[in-house]
Structure 1
Amino acid sequence: MEHNSLKTWPECAARLVAVAAGREQADLIIRGGHWVNVHTREVLPDHDIAIADGRIAYVGPDASHCHGSATEVIEAAGRYMIPGLCDGHMHIESGMLTPAEFARAVIGHGTTTMFTDPHEIANVLGLEGVRLMHDEALMQPINIFTQMPSCAPSAPGLETTGFEITPEDVAEAMSWPGIIGLGEMMNFPGVIHGDAKMLAEIAATQNAGKTVGGHYASPDLGPAFHAYAAGGPADDHEGTCEADAIARVRQGMRSMMRLGSAWYDVETQITAVTEKGLDPRNFILCTDDSHSGTLVNDGHMNRVVRHAIDCGCDPLVALQMATLNTATHFGLERELGSVTPGRRADVILTSDLRSLPIEHVIAGGKTIAQDGTCLVDCPHLSWPDHARQTVNMGKARSAADFVITAPDGANRVTANVIGVVENQAPTKALTADLPVVDGKVQMDLENDVCQIALVERHRALGTTTNAFVSGFGYTGTMAMASTVAHDSHHMIVVGTSREDMALAANRLGEVGGGVTVFKDGKEIALVELPIAGLMSDRPATEVAAKAQKMVEAMQRCGCTLNNAYMQHSLLALVVIPELRISDLGLVDVTKFEMTDLIQAHT
């Protein structure tokens, strides 16, 4: 699988052998460092690394026999030489950035390999969107492998997407140079019940000899879980507790433990290794979803590794989980994930294995970052105009579109309410007793119940689905709208004022997508995301600054949740329990069926 201009191993094998033997000179030698060997979990002091044609030729106590007049030398000066970090499961779109700008944002943090699932853009632009992401990914100075999205829609019959992904699409994509496997199989009920379409996608992937990504978002570890495991997914990142992690690895799956911007699932699962003593080679660290603010201010995979160490994990085990384990899982152990001969020369120099300062990053044998600063160009694709014109609302919205009409004669109703859970992807199915005024069901802000709406934006149908949500803590007169609405990516609007909800929705129609916050009838924050309504091709620092203003605007409206925007963006994710909203109505994700908004009335 060719990466950018890097030669494949067969293309440079003869030279690697000659350099290791001392018959030819290396392009680069990293001298005098502590070699962190993730194959053996050893730290070996006073070692050198010799690199040729972007690959490692020799690692040993003295590479002077590989040195020549044209050889560049980097003095490690006793620092640790660790493999470039790998993210085993993530969505570039969650950073609100294109692949190029995402790469630019994470290079300084030591991420040199990402396994990405662009199922967000697949829901908006279909197979073409996947191809655009794939093509820009291959242009970058780091390794970005693409998993072909499996589920668009994520739950057939419960939502309508802009495009659908078919088994034929999956089979076609398996021939593309950067496709590493199948993206997370979110339709786990389909797999459990033997859905022919889902099994055909898995079969097309396995026939191509590639890896099937998993997504089992249920606490049920009984026969349903075993049926899913039998269906072929090779990994899963939806575990939230130790029992989840253990169940997965016992069934031959890799447990992917995530620390994203809003998902904190490492601490509760890593005890399977640190306390139960399970084989750590079956555990992988990943981010899943990281927004631009996290990337700019906190880090990427370096943040996850530090967190795992803080949770009691041995630093060398944590590094395995973010390098070799990931590479092995995707069939790339001979290609990357360790500082050993033949592999891509992706190396980090760091002075401390616990705090993990990323001081020098080398990818493909070239320095790409120092002290957190990216030093290389990250090329952009020329995105077509229609990829920037995807917010098709059909009509402008008014306050009347956000009215929830009560049953005839009702004075009060009992309504189903989506309950937001801080720092977790699942929601709670709540109920609320709500008043009725002039035939309209009212919110209950004193008890933190406001409105949520899903505005259709793919086919210009002009439809709006309304419901109630609790947990954001909003007060006063406000609304927040976003065209990032996993996974169907219609528009989610949450607010305390129907008038502001209409203003926010229409504003996103004007700018072609993004996130906006209105308070007292005025816009107080805007993040423009013109590409598919999901991404910006502006630099991460610029997008992060606007995203920070958006977070501050949410706080001004009374919301104190950690990374509340991520919670907002998942309220239409109809594959994670318990209650979600879609363009078809309210969805009970414990039963995978539609449910009524109003339970009863008096």
Structure 2
Amino acid sequence: MDHAAFPSWPDVAAHLVNVVAGRVPADLVFRGGIWVNVHTRESLPGHDIVVAKGRIACIVPDASHCVGPDTQVVDAKGRYMIPGLCDGHMHIESGMLTPAEFARAVIPHGTTTMFTDPHEIANVLGLNGVRMMHDEALMQPINIFTQMPSCAPSAPGLETTGYEITAEDVAEAMSWPGIIGLGEMMNFPGVAHADPQMLAEIAATQRAGKTVGGHYASPDLGPDFAAYVAGGPADDHEGTCEADAIARVRQGMRSMMRLGSAWYDVEAQITAVTKKGLDPRNFILCTDDCHSGTLVNDGHMNRVVRHAIACGCDPLVALQMATINTATHFGLERELGSLTPGRRADVILTSDLTELPIEQVWARGQLVAKNGSCLVDCPHYDWPDTARQTVHVKQALTRDDFAISAPQGANAVRANVIGVVENQAPTKALQKELIVNDGLVESQGDTCQIALVERHRATGGVTNAFVSGFGYQGRMAMASTVAHDSHHMIVVGTCREQMALAANRLAQVGGGITIFREGEELALVELPIAGLMSDSPAAEVAAKADQMVQAMIQCGCTLNNAYMQHSLLALVVIPELRISDKGLIDVRKFKEIPVFEPLS
């Protein structure tokens, strides 16, 4: 039964009352566990949890009177009974998986609720793509709520997307059963300067009584930040330091602290709670972006909670940040996020609150995972051909498409270079002096070429520039149709021939990620759905992703999760420097800048 059709509390209230009174038997009883109460921040030994119709009826020291001949009794054996974990902000597409396969991957890690923003597919397929993600999400045995994407394009005028999201689209989506709010409002300059469309999207969401997601990616906490908050966003996950977290909660926002595959922002911000003593109920843990390799090998929200604890957070506080805080923020405190009467019976059994081994996972009163294995079916949506044929390149690309000509007569140039920062979403705006050979500027030392290949309308457009920080060596190239947020094709390489090979390979397979070295394909991750996702099992995709990571290492890259850095090189709403189909973009000023500056 999907979560949209799941019986509401009022629908089953009479039955719950009768179960608690002992007039009818329970469906399920957890016996003799330690009840972790995230409302009061207590661990209470010797309690039973009574479940009926997929909801919690009561939690009492002895539920014997609720047990009938057909009641399933689970001996908790003194283990902790904690609420299913909630991810407050994430993008399913970043896992390279469809909602069904993402659910199958995270269920064994104790994630029973996700608040997802499918703005990746919105950039490729528009409102129809969002509907497909929404519909498959509703089919799953866990709770996947969808936020309607707000910004496609993320920075109007600075990039061209496959489709554009309008205020009318947002208003329409607010009536869908699985829509919980508005996705991250990335166009923070637009909100701060009262852009009519951005404010109309926010207004449509607020009138529907739903939550507006934030995304303030600037370090400036002055008037622009204040203006952004006044516009209506209710949370933000772009903070990278303690001051960011404090500024957000002081203004009535929720501070979402993320630990994804490449974003390590919890440690620097959680000190607002552990050292400054701020009220932890306004802090939420999330992942934002996790690729399949992280999900299969390291975990999901259980990984984030463990990390928060390792950073000095009290385990019960960390659990609040991944359960009740999240549910409350989205207006679902009476529906999920705690083990209390009426809530969905999303229960984890674990023997240790610090290490958090996920021994059993129950969702809506059903055993869905045990000791790392998913025990339930995760149904697939029937993705149409229009969602599988989205890489449109005008013609076969050649080395000449990646040529960067120097100014006439120059022997050397000063280039504006995108500087990758390990484990962080922001980049650095660097300038490097590069040598000219035969009128062209090519990769030199740690400075590689980067190209954005238009792939939505087959215009034949290729934007060329430079990037530094990957450490690539030899003749190689890496190409990906995952390129937040416009999702054109991004190619990074040290050799123009290899760049052409990689780009043409992705056009051939319909999207994904590939790495070439010396004419040989070292790795390929096929992502046929919108060029973003695979509907293959997570373990298979993760194995190919692991091969991709190893190929990057073979080519000289030692950055942690460098693929995530690669995928964000076109994200023109996060400072400092990015690439788009319009050119090289200085996100500090939100304007295009030249690849070359005059030599002084």
CA offset digits 1:270-316 (Å, max 9, x no partner): 00000000000000000000000000000000000000000000000
SS at match of 2:268: coil
What is the alpha-carbon distance in structure 2 between the residues aligned to residue 89 and residue 139 of structure 1? Answer: 20
Q: Which residue of 1 aligns with 2:62?
A: 62
CA offset digits 1:110-169 (Å, max 9, x no partner): 000000000000000000000000000000000000000000000000000000000000
What is the alpha-carbon distance in structure 2 between the residues aligned to residue 372 and residue 112 of structure 1? Answer: 14
Q: Which residue of 2 aligns with 1:265?
A: 265
Match of 1:498 among 496, 512, 519: 496
Q: Which residue of 1 aligns with 2:514?
A: 516
Q: Which residue of 2 aligns with 1:108?
A: 108
What is the alpha-carbon distance in structure 2 between the residues aligned to residue 493 and residue 234 of structure 1? Answer: 36
CA offset digits 1:191-233 (Å, max 9, x no partner): 0010000000000000000000000001101111100010100
Q: Which residue of 2 aligns with 1:248?
A: 248
SS at match of 1:536: coil
Q: Which residue of 2 aligns with 1:175?
A: 175
Question: How far is 1:444 from its partner?
Answer: 1.3
Question: How far is 1:6 from its partner?
Answer: 2.5
Q: Which amino acid aligns with 2:297?
A: N
Aligned 8 A contact 1:479 1:493 in 2: yes
Q: Which residue of 2 aligns with 1:487?
A: 485
In the TM superposition, what are the counterparts of 1:147-166 in structure 2 within 5 Å? 147-166=147-166
Bigger Cα displacement from structure 2, 3-12 vs 233-242: 3-12
Residue 454 (structure 1) aligned with residue 443 (structure 2): no
Q: Which residue of 1 aligns with 2:342?
A: 342
What is the alpha-carbon distance in structure 2 between the residues aligned to residue 442 and residue 453 of structure 1? Answer: 12
Q: Which residue of 2 aligns with 1:32?
A: 32
Match of 1:599 among 586, 597, 600: 597
In the TM superposition, what are the counterparts of 1:532-543 in structure 2 within 5 Å? 532-543=530-541
Match of 1:553 among 551, 554, 560: 551
Question: How far is 1:386 from its partner?
Answer: 1.1
Question: How far is 1:500 from its partner?
Answer: 0.2
TM-score, normalised to structure 1's length? 0.99
In the TM superposition, what are the counterparts of 1:222-237 in structure 2 within 5 Å? 222-237=222-237
Q: Which amino acid aligns with 2:583?
A: G
Aligned 8 A contact 2:513 2:524 in 1: yes
In the TM superposition, what are the counterparts of 1:160-309 in structure 2 within 5 Å? 160-309=160-309
Q: Structure 1, unaligned stretches of length 5 or more? A: none
What is the alpha-carbon distance in structure 2 between the residues aligned to residue 38 and residue 71 of structure 1? Answer: 27
Q: Which residue of 2 aligns with 1:50?
A: 50
Aligned 8 A contact 1:410 1:601 in 2: no
Question: How far is 1:442 from its partner?
Answer: 2.6
CA offset digits 1:492-535 (Å, max 9, x no partner): 00000000000000000000000000000111100000000000
Q: Which residue of 2 aligns with 1:331?
A: 331
Aligned 8 A contact 2:416 2:466 in 1: yes
SS at match of 1:336: coil
SS at match of 1:108: helix
Aligned 8 A contact 2:2 2:139 in 1: no
Residue 422 (structure 1) aligned with residue 422 (structure 2): yes
CA offset digits 1:381-436 (Å, max 9, x no partner): 00000100000011111000000011111111100000000000000000111111
In the TM superposition, what are the counterparts of 1:402-413 in structure 2 within 5 Å? 402-413=402-413
SS at match of 1:30: strand
Q: Which residue of 1 aligns with 2:85?
A: 85
SS at match of 1:386: helix
Q: Which residue of 1 aligns with 2:358?
A: 358
What is the alpha-carbon distance in structure 2 between the residues aligned to residue 257 and residue 55 of structure 1? Answer: 30
Q: Structure 2, unaligned stretches of length 5 or more? A: none
What is the alpha-carbon distance in structure 2 between the residues aligned to residue 192 and residue 140 of structure 1? Answer: 38
Matched-pair identity in %: 80
CA offset digits 1:323-343 (Å, max 9, x no partner): 000000000000000000000
SS at match of 1:220: coil
SS at match of 1:48: strand
Q: Which residue of 2 aligns with 1:376?
A: 376
CA offset digits 1:4-36 (Å, max 9, x no partner): 552111111110111111111100000000000
Residue 588 (structure 1) aligned with residue 586 (structure 2): yes
Q: Which amino acid aligns with 2:373?
A: T
What is the alpha-carbon distance in structure 1 between the residues aligned to residue 60 and residue 221 of structure 2? Answer: 47
**Structure 1 residues 80 and 235, CA, compared in 2 at 3 Å: closer, same or farther?**
same
Q: Which amino acid aligns with 2:488?
A: H
Q: Which residue of 1 aligns with 2:391?
A: 391
What is the alpha-carbon distance in structure 1 between the residues aligned to residue 393 and residue 460 of structure 2? Answer: 6
Aligned 8 A contact 2:442 2:494 in 1: no
Question: How far is 1:443 from its partner?
Answer: 2.1
Q: Which residue of 1 aligns with 2:475?
A: 477
Residue 19 (structure 1) aligned with residue 19 (structure 2): yes
Aligned 8 A contact 1:2 1:8 in 2: no
What is the alpha-carbon distance in structure 2 between the residues aligned to residue 530 and residue 323 of structure 1? Answer: 34
TM-score, normalised to structure 2's length? 0.99
What is the alpha-carbon distance in structure 1 between the residues aligned to residue 272 and residue 394 of structure 2? Answer: 51
Question: How far is 1:180 from its partner?
Answer: 0.1
CA offset digits 1:58-83 (Å, max 9, x no partner): 10101111111110000000000000
What is the alpha-carbon distance in structure 2 between the residues aligned to residue 298 and residue 524 of structure 1? Answer: 24
Q: Which amino acid aligns with 1:14?
A: A
Aligned 8 A contact 1:4 1:141 in 2: no
What is the alpha-carbon distance in structure 1 between the residues aligned to residue 2 and residue 479 of structure 2? Answer: 41
What is the alpha-carbon distance in structure 2 between the residues aligned to residue 6 and residue 426 of structure 1? Answer: 41
Aligned 8 A contact 1:256 1:284 in 2: yes
Question: How far is 1:544 from its partner?
Answer: 0.2
What is the alpha-carbon distance in structure 1 between the residues aligned to residue 345 and residue 147 of structure 2? Answer: 23
Runs of 4+ in 1 over 2 A off after TM superposition: none
Residue 573 (structure 1) aligned with residue 571 (structure 2): yes
Question: How far is 1:601 from its partner?
Answer: 4.4
Aligned 8 A contact 1:2 1:177 in 2: no
Bigger Cα displacement from structure 2, 313-322 vs 403-412: 403-412
Q: Which amino acid aligns with 1:593?
A: K
What is the alpha-carbon distance in structure 1 between the residues aligned to residue 20 and residue 467 of structure 2? Answer: 63
Q: Which amino acid aligns with 1:457?
A: R
Question: How far is 1:254 from its partner?
Answer: 0.1
Match of 1:530 among 528, 531, 536: 528
SS at match of 2:543: helix
Q: Which amino acid aligns with 1:213?
A: G
**Structure 1 residues 4 and 211, CA, compared in 2 at 3 Å: closer, same or farther?**
closer
CA offset digits 1:252-280 (Å, max 9, x no partner): 00000000000000000000000000000
CA offset digits 1:360-392 (Å, max 9, x no partner): 000000100000100000000000001000000
SS at match of 2:109: coil
Q: Which amino acid aligns with 1:365?
A: G
SS at match of 1:387: helix
- Number of corresponding residues: 600
Aligned 8 A contact 2:2 2:140 in 1: no
Aligned 8 A contact 1:6 1:53 in 2: no
What is the alpha-carbon distance in structure 1 between the residues aligned to residue 70 and residue 323 of structure 2? Answer: 31
Question: How far is 1:2 from its partner?
Answer: 6.9
Q: Which amino acid aligns with 1:326?
A: T
What is the alpha-carbon distance in structure 1 between the residues aligned to residue 320 and residue 443 of structure 2? Answer: 50
**Structure 1 residues 285 and 214, CA, compared in 2 at 3 Å: closer, same or farther?**
same
